[in-house]
């Protein structure tokens, strides 16, 4: 296993947990101090609003109630003993962490703490970005329910990691971006020393980045060197990524309302983005004052995107457009309609399952939004209309020289 990420040594594993909790505190303006005695002291010491907090952290491989309650009880006993012997009269905080913790289990943990240890604050965090605290005003650290949180996951048994989840694919693009020209991929370009820096650059939660680092390190695709995080075994990684991406994507056949110039679709997308006033890859809370929902993001996909990026190879097939969600007024703005598609489809609208990875990487080519080169390569590989040849062209011309030739694999 690559050094630095969840090795077998429990001390290193505990250090990773500390970094997660540190980020939770610091993002809300808390000051975090290093305990003086690493062997006998608390896991963390924090200060806020003139008050001192000492923290004990426990991690479970499963978010089950029968696993979590004993752990929080152990943390409570340890932190209470430390608080009683600290002349500064600190507030004790017991925190438990797991990959996924149902809200019902979190509520049981907080109820247990209120009943048996009202003097101790308690926190519950999971790798999906959920966090909830109770006691001594620490509720201010609570998170909003993450949009992508999977509420139907069972609390029985371990959860299989989703190596190529939506945000994981986006973070892969961020780590690969320094090797790929900006004209082919819109993404931050830098070096990241750990999950916290990666999360900040990618615009994701520290929990999401922490889980990404853990998963890809365990698979042998991520290591940490003197220059920070870096991907290894890239050819094997790209093969795995491509194989994981071959799931069906919902498509809607549409026709042009009015047939115009040859580049009517590109012109419509250029106008669509221009009216929005920003890149389609950026997240938005609202579109216009009084609007009920933001306009769905949209961009060229597959062969049309390849052509926009300068790698056109397959001609004579309908164009593909990625749209965040099917919305009638958005289709009309693009001059498209679902009427009359029984005879012939001019365009296929694809509704992506991994929308953040698709839209955050979008590039503008002469004002026209197009999928990034990695997304095009992933999407066309299994297309029946010479998709494999298109993917091979992109691989030979861009991806292999950028990602593989420089590897000492």
Q: What is the pTM of this model?
A: 0.62
Strands 222-225 and 228-231: what pairing? antiparallel
Could you give the CA distance from residue 124 to residue 51 in angstroms, rounded to a whole number? 21
Determine whether domain 166-246 maps to CATH 3.30.450.20.
Answer: no
Span 10-141: which CATH code? 3.40.1350.10
What b/e string do you get for 202-241 counting C-beta neighbours within 10 Å, with b at 16 or more? bbbbbbbbbbbbbbbbebebbbbeeeebebbbbeebbeeb
* Neighbouring residues of 110: CB distance < 8 A, sequence distance ≥ 6: 122, 124, 132, 134
264 exposure class (CB count in 10 Å sphere: 0-12, 13-18, 19+): middle
Domain segments of the chain: what residues?
Answer: 10-141, 166-246, 251-401
Model confidence band, residue 405 (pLDDT cutoffs 50, 70, 90): low
Token pair in block for residue 187: 């993404």
CA distance 122 to 101: 14
Decide which of 164 and 128 is more confident: 164
Tens digit of each residue's pLDDT (9 = 90 or more) over 271-313: 888 866 555 555 544 444 444 457 889 999 999 999 999 988 7
Task: Check residue 385 and give its pLDDT.
Answer: 77
Residue 287: its pLDDT value, please? Answer: 42
Neighbours of 291 (CB within 10 A): 9
Residue 283 and residue 208: Cα distance in Å, rounded? 17
With H, G, I as helix, E, B as strand and everything else as coil, classify residue 281.
Answer: coil
Stretch 264-270: mean pLDDT: 87
- Overall average pLDDT of the 57-69 stretch: 85
């Amino acid at each position: 296993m690559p050094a630095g990420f969840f090795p077998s040594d429990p001390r290193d594993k505990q250090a990773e947990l500390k970094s997660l909790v540190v980020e939770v505190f610091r993002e809300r303006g808390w000051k975090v101090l290093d305990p003086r005695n690493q062997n006998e002291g608390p896991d963390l010491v924090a200060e806020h609003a003139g008050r001192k907090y000492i923290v004990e952290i426990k991690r479970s491989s499963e978010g089950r109630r029968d696993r979590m309650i004993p752990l929080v009880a152990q943390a409570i006993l340890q932190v209470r003993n430390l608080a009683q012997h600290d002349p500064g009269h600190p507030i004790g905080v017991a925190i438990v962490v797991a990959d996924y913790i149902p809200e019902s289990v979190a509520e049981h943990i907080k109820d247990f703490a209120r009943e048996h240890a009202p003097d101790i604050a308690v926190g519950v965090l999971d790798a999906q970005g959920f966090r909830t605290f109770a006691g001594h005003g620490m509720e201010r650290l609570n998170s909003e329910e993450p949009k992508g949180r999977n509420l139907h996951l069972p609390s029985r048994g371990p959860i299989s990691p989703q190596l190529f989840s939506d945000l994981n694919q986006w973070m892969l693009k961020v780590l690969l971006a320094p090797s790929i020209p900006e004209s082919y991929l819109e993404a931050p370009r830098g070096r990241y020393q750990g999950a916290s820096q990666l999360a900040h650059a990618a615009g994701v939660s520290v929990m999401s980045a922490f889980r990404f680092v853990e998963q890809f390190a365990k698979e042998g695709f991520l290591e940490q060197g003197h220059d920070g995080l870096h991907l290894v075994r890239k050819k094997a990684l790209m093969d795995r990524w491509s194989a994981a991406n071959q799931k069906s994507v919902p498509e809607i056949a549409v026709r042009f309302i009015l047939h115009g110039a040859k580049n009517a679709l590109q012109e419509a997308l250029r106008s669509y983005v221009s009216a929005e006033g920003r890149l389609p890859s950026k997240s938005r809370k609202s579109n216009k004052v009084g609007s009920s929902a933001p306009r769905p993001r949209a961009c060229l996909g597959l062969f049309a995107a390849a052509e926009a990026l300068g790698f056109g190879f397959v001609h004579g097939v309908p164009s593909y457009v990625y749209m965040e969600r099917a919305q009638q007024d958005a289709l009309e703005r693009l001059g498209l309609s679902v009427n009359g598609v029984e005879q012939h489809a001019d365009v296929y609208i694809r509704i992506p399952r991994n929308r953040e990875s698709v839209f955050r990487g979008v590039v503008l080519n002469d004002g026209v939004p197009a999928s990034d080169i990695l997304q095009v390569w992933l999407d066309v590989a299994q297309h029946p209309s010479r998709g494999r040849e298109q993917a091979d062209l992109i691989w030979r011309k861009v991806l292999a020289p950028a990602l593989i030739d420089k590897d000492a694999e």
